[in-house]
Amino acid sequence: MKITVRLAALAVLTAFPMPVLAAPIQAVMYKNPSCSCCETYAAYLEKNGFKVDIKPTNDLAQVSAGLGVPPKLQGCHSVVIGDYVVDGFVPVDVINKMLTERPAVTGIALAGMPMGSPGMGGEKTERFAIYSFTKDGKPPAVYATE
Per residue in 62-104, pLDDT tens?
Answer: 999 999 999 999 999 999 999 999 999 999 999 999 999 999 9
Residue 67's CATH number: 3.40.30
Put simply, whether the predicted model's pTM sits higher than 0.95 gets the answer: no
Q: H or E segment at 4? A: helix 2-15
Answer yes or no: is 121 within a domain. yes
DSSP 6-68: HHHHHHHHHHSPPPPPPPPEEEEEEE-TT-HHHHHHHHHHHHTTEEEEEEE-S-HHHHHHHTT
Question: How many domains are there within the chain?
Answer: 1
